[in-house]
Structure 1
Amino acid sequence: MNPKNSKSITFHEPEKSGCCKLRRLHIILICVVRPTFTIFSHRESYCKVVCTMLKMLSRVGFIRTMAVRSQSTASFIANMPPCDFVPEKYTGPSHDTMKQLRQNHLSSGQLTYYKDPISLCQGHMQYLYDLEGNRYLDMFAGIATVIAGHCHPKIQEATLSQMGKMWHSTNIYYHPSIHEYAEKLTSTLPDPLKVCYFVNSGSEANDLALLMARLYTGCMDTFVMRGAYHGASPITMGLTSLSTWFFNYPSASSIHKIRNADPYKGPYGGKACRDSVVQADRSCDCQPGQCMASEQYLEEVKDALTYCAPKDKIGAFFAESIQGVNGTMQFPKGFIKGAVEQVRARGGVAILDEVQTGFGRTGEHFWGFQGHDVIPDMVVMAKGIANGYPMGAVVTTKEIASVLSRALHFNTFGGNPVACTVASSVIDVIKEDKLQENAQQLGSYFLLELAKLRDEFEIVGDVRGKGFMIGVELVADKESKVTLPADQVGAIFEDMKEMRVLNGKGGVFGNVMRFKPPMCVTKADVDYTVAAFRQALTNHRERQAK
């Protein structure tokens, strides 16, 4: 459009109040924070059309409905826990400019959340800020990654200090950071897990773990759980067992999928199966210290090992301590330990994926596998390891680690001075700020408050998790457990955003609301999140009643 050939109509720029439908009509309506509304346009004829549409919508009460909704949303946001941090004024490209740049220069395969994605430009601890300075409560932590909080001052100080000395040298030379951090990291792990190999992501780490396991055992056959997510690289896509993450690509050679041990939707499970303060709403005849569901699911493991691998050997078994992408699915108590015992009896190595559950997120322990009373042969980690700085690692035994000396193996950026400095300061902050204790105490409170919503709303089928690793499964009704339709889940998800709470979605059908916040969140943050979720569920109930 040529501005020389058009006229513009401009009024005061409004504050954003969440009227998404009106934005789609290129009308920005504000009726709460400022009692005015603004119409932006460049063509007078277009403005006439917009005005006509406004009149039509007014006649059917749409504007009035949206105004009431705006009033409700704005009033709700006013109750967000206070924060005295003031973000810097943003001066970069606009949201629309970024949208156009993204369409032109970034892969369409890069996933974004929300119908109109949020443009974020600054973070402070548990909060994120958009281009207009609106504050959001981050209850997803960059997918369970920003474990200590955005721009934590101690981590930031250590990072800047190291960047002033040396960024990169590669591991063909010694540098202090990698050695100091390897010692600090392994001090959090039990013997014999004392040898590290640093990489840049969880996918890289799982890829390397698979290579090391197959070299060590001399066997290709590898077992994973259905519902697992272990990465999206050409190799780790084979370890992942969620169809939404698959391409038509030969990545699953000699990788076998075991039926998932899901106490909520699986064939076995009950009200005492999970290591959690909240249990599945199913009957159970188990006696104290016994889990019949675990025993029955272990029979599935036995069958898989018997029928899918050579009788004398297997290569490896991968499992997440709690399945993350699959909607925070928890295994029955005793299942992981029993599966590891079977794997080792067949000569295989056990690999526990702690990409999401590590570094105190589950609260009770620093590592998720400790809650299963097992010591794996390899531990894979990433995400929270460096609070959002690209890093991953495999920690294993000296014997298994030695297989990489059979040929040259190298990672250019793995374990670089800055990454190791960041990761080292993360461990310090977790201890000094008592973040693991916060995850245990406040996480349990969070779960119990969410469980009240299960009692209140028919579509809340299950609440599960441990510490700050939480999932809420939405269903059409509790009896059938049929997945809530995607459009209804999406509407609830959008309502949460409008109330300035950012959370995730998970499960193969995307019907599990995921809460994995920075571990520095407060009780006030949790209370606000639960209140926002209750309001979003109430909105859904009212929409369905019409």
Structure 2
Amino acid sequence: MQNYIGPELVLQKRQQYFYPCTSHFYRNPPQIVKGEMQYLYGHDGTKYTDFFAGVSVVASGHCNPEIAERTAEQLRTLQHTCTIYLTQPNVDLAERLAGVLPGELRRTFFVNSGSEANEGALLLARLYTGRRGFIALEQGLHGRTYLTMSVTGLSMWRTDPELAHDTDVTFIPRPHERGVSADEAGRRSIEALKAVLAEKGGEIAAMIAEPIQGNGGMITPPDWYFPEVKRLLEQYGVLLIADEIQTGFGRTGRMFAMDLWGVTPDIISMAKALGSGIPVAGFATTDKIAASFTRPSASTFGGNPVSSVTALAVLDYIEAHRLPERAVRLGALLRGGLERLAQRFPQLVSDVRGAGLMLGAELCADDPQRGAELADEVLEAVKDRGYIIGKNGVNRNVLAFQPPLVITEENIAGLLAALEETLAGL
């Protein structure tokens, strides 16, 4: 075994050299040293089944050999140029994406991260419409650049308090409210959208929304919600930006989550699962909208040969192994197990929601502070039983299940057993 410094020294170095804003899960965190498909390994050899996937990133598995080999080969061949030079991997990737993107979306601008992808999408909307304003959903998360933070409604990620004075962004209620049916919450959100459009629709460039709010607590709208949103926006010439950073590339059972409701956005942002651990992201749109982006622009590392070849390998793997279909089948199995636990422990588990293998279980919704404390206890106890899960939500009381899409039925059965033992112990 290699000589790892161990979690205590890792924590010491983080405290010495990281910013104080950087936090971590667990009271007794392991030092993660190896990944292998759906598994992670600690410094002491402990094996963990990963049900969080780096927040939806490694959807094709950790260090997937089919993907890693192609990445390594490209690293040995041509590691970097910028888009001012001609290379084949990024144009092949753009062409491949045009074949899987919905509707007439076919042009992609490559960047490195989800924040950059959303920033570019918002800029593109302003360039195309000649308007400045944006509509966003409360409790959404779109990034940590200034413009993406401005359209982020989740308060813990609005780092600069001056963002509250950004008059270009109007927030409307999300289609979720405690104690209210999904349809009623959706109707309240739509009425708010109608009011904003009636008041200043001519000033709004775009509405940005996550199809399913991940960090906001796995908030899944009623089926009719986004079709109605798109219809209303079109009446005012307002674009719809779908933030598919967490939901894209098979996680919800479709290549993109908006496909669940038959909605084609005007601009789509993507990252995370596209590189399965290698930084690659982009925002895509139609020929017509892309034609408005004419001033010189580039991303130094966006679409570099290594990230592009990796993304092509990821898309090949998704198709060959039918990962969206796996997400439907295995997601139904996991959801069914979580719902049975909610029936057994109604005083603990208030709600189960999501789609495919993007699921959340809210704890103690009527007492979210207690729910947040329990979420930490559950994460710790489940980790000690060999399983990694996440947490999210406005109050950090929602258990998050976003595993690599290569997990098995046996993995799910083991997780559910560990979760049941943990909840029974509470």
Instruction: Rate the CA distance shift 1:132–1:360 in 2: closer, same or farther, 3 A.
Output: same
Q: Describe the superposition over 1:46-77 as per-residue Cα deviations: whole angstroms up to 9, x where unpaired.
A: xxxxxxxxxxxxxxxxxxxxxxxxxxxxxxxx
Deviation at 1:496, TM superposition (A): 1.2
1:328 aligns to 2:218 (yes or no): yes
AA partner of residue 255 (structure 1): V
1:501 aligns to 2:378 (yes or no): no
Deviation at 1:404, TM superposition (A): 2.3
1:300 aligns to 2:192 (yes or no): yes
Partner of 1:543: none
2:269 equivalent among 372, 375, 380: 380
AA partner of residue 312 (structure 1): G
Aligned-partner Cα distance in 1 for 2:149–2:270: 17
Structure 2: gaps spanning 5 or more residues: none
Within a 5 Å distance, the mapping from 1:78-477 to structure 2 comes to: 89-251=1-163, 252-262=166-176, 265=178, 267-269=180-182, 294-307=186-199, 309=200, 311-363=201-253, 365-405=254-294, 407-457=295-345, 458-475=347-364
Identity %: 35
Within a 5 Å distance, the mapping from 1:27-66 to structure 2 comes to: none
**Secondary structure class of the residue paired with 1:316:** strand
1:491 aligns to 2:405 (yes or no): no
Instruction: Rate the CA distance shift 1:498–1:389 in 2: closer, same or farther, 3 A.
Output: same
AA partner of residue 378 (structure 2): I
- CA root-mean-square deviation: 1.6
Partner of 1:19: none
Instruction: Rate the CA distance shift 1:91–1:368 in 2: closer, same or farther, 3 A.
Output: same
Aligned-partner Cα distance in 2 for 1:485–1:465: 19
AA partner of residue 194 (structure 2): K
Instruction: Rate the CA distance shift 1:201–1:266 in 2: closer, same or farther, 3 A.
Output: farther
Instruction: Rate the CA distance shift 1:482–1:113 in 2: closer, same or farther, 3 A.
Output: closer
Q: Which has the larger radius of gyration?
A: 1
Instruction: Rate the CA distance shift 1:94–1:454 in 2: closer, same or farther, 3 A.
Output: closer
Deviation at 1:304, TM superposition (A): 2.6
Aligned-partner Cα distance in 1 for 2:369–2:351: 12
**Secondary structure class of the residue paired with 1:121:** strand
Instruction: Rate the CA distance shift 1:372–1:104 in 2: closer, same or farther, 3 A.
Output: same
State whether residues 328 and 464 of structure 1, in contact with CA within 8 Å, keep that contact through their aligned partners in structure 2. Answer: yes
AA partner of residue 389 (structure 2): N
RCO higher in structure (CA 8 A, sep ≥6): 2
Deviation at 1:296, TM superposition (A): 4.3
Q: TM-score, normalised by structure 2?
A: 0.96
State whether residues 337 and 373 of structure 1, in contact with CA within 8 Å, keep that contact through their aligned partners in structure 2. Answer: yes
Q: Describe the superposition over 1:177-200 as per-residue Cα deviations: whole angstroms up to 9, x where unpaired.
A: 001111111100133100000000
State whether residues 314 and 343 of structure 1, in contact with CA within 8 Å, keep that contact through their aligned partners in structure 2. Answer: no
Deviation at 1:488, TM superposition (A): 2.6
Aligned-partner Cα distance in 2 for 1:449–1:316: 39
AA partner of residue 58 (structure 2): V
Deviation at 1:218, TM superposition (A): 1.0
Deviation at 1:118, TM superposition (A): 2.2
Moved more, 124-133 or 432-441: 432-441
Deviation at 1:483, TM superposition (A): 5.3
Deviation at 1:399, TM superposition (A): 2.0
Deviation at 1:447, TM superposition (A): 0.3
Instruction: Rate the CA distance shift 1:338–1:243 in 2: closer, same or farther, 3 A.
Output: same
State whether residues 203 and 233 of structure 1, in contact with CA within 8 Å, keep that contact through their aligned partners in structure 2. Answer: yes
State whether residues 82 and 301 of structure 2, in contact with CA within 8 Å, keep that contact through their aligned partners in structure 1. Answer: yes
Q: Describe the superposition over 1:227-247 as per-residue Cα deviations: whole angstroms up to 9, x where unpaired.
A: 111112222111111111122
Partner of 1:66: none
Q: TM-score, normalised by structure 1?
A: 0.75
**Secondary structure class of the residue paired with 1:261:** coil
Aligned-partner Cα distance in 2 for 1:210–1:485: 35
Aligned-partner Cα distance in 2 for 1:317–1:266: 26
